[in-house]
Amino acid sequence: MAFEDLLEDPVIQKYLHELVGPKGMPVAAAPPDGEVTDEELAEELDLELNDVRRALFILYENDLASYRRLRDEDSGWLTYLWTFQYDNIPENLEEEMYRLHDSLVERREYEATHEFYLCEVDSIRFEFGEAMEFGFECPECGSALESLDNDRLVDAMDRRIGELRDELNIEPEEVDVEV
């Protein structure tokens, strides 16, 4: 995928936005060619220097930017020259999908193996043991706790896990619950 195509992809735009937030998005969405200083970016994009630095550091932490330091011989000041490396985005997104898959499998197991009760007044969910401790009454308002059927939630998780497995070419494991 060409560099320009990467930045126009809505999934990648969303990923960058999740990483750097709205204030850092101008930095992430329009990376210059070659090296640039944080001061140059702040001036060019009309942003606060701290917002630019924060975005650059987040991109650096996610292997999407790198820098090299230059020391001014006379003043001793350090200048950081930043380079953007968006070739790693597809790999980062795939890693995120694997993490999401693993988290969903774990959460699905928890949801499927526990019994829950709900205070319909305060919308607070309790595990069976907690509900029993409270005498099946809400500790906040005193109303009766009702048995909660979370089958729709488990079914939705099964569907999403199946979609992720298809997309990532993951075979269901024997220990996994069937999805």
Provide the CATH number for the domain formed by 3-84 in this structure: 1.10.10.10
Residue among 2, 176, 155, 166 nearest 86 (CA): 2
Instruction: Calculate mean pLDDT across residues 72-100.
Output: 90
CA dist 76 and 69 (Å) reads 12
Range of lowest pLDDT (55-59, 121-125, 167-171): 167-171
Q: How confident is the model at residue 116 (pLDDT cuts 50, 70, 90)?
A: very high
User: Residue 4: its pLDDT value, please?
Assistant: 59
Looking at every residue in the chain, the average pLDDT score rounds to 90
Measured CA distances, 157 to 112, 148, 151, 163, 179 (Å): 10, 17, 10, 10, 9
Judged against a pLDDT cut of 80, whether residue 67 lies above it is answered with yes
What are phi and psi for residue 15, nearest 5 degrees?
-60, -50
Q: Which residue has the tokens 């993490």?
A: 99
CA dist 149 and 164 (Å) reads 25
Q: How confident is the model at residue 5 (pLDDT cuts 50, 70, 90)?
A: low
CA dist 54 and 12 (Å) reads 19
Any bridge partners for residue 36, and if so which?
A: 82
What single letter denotes the amino acid at residue 140?
A: E
In sign, the C-alpha dihedral spanning 164, 166, 167, 168 is positive
Domain residue extents for the chain: 3-84, 91-168
CA dist 42 and 70 (Å) reads 19
Instruction: Calculate mean pLDDT across residues 9-30.
Output: 90
Judged against a pLDDT cut of 70, whether residue 176 lies above it is answered with no
Task: Give the full edge-to-edge strand order of the sheet including 116-119.
Answer: 124-127, 116-119, 146-148
Neighbours of 123 (CB within 10 A): 7
Judged against a pLDDT cut of 90, whether residue 169 lies above it is answered with no
Question: For the whole prediction, is pTM greater than 0.75?
Answer: no
% of the chain with per-residue pLDDT over 70: 92
Measured CA distances, 47 to 52, 80, 178 (Å): 7, 18, 50
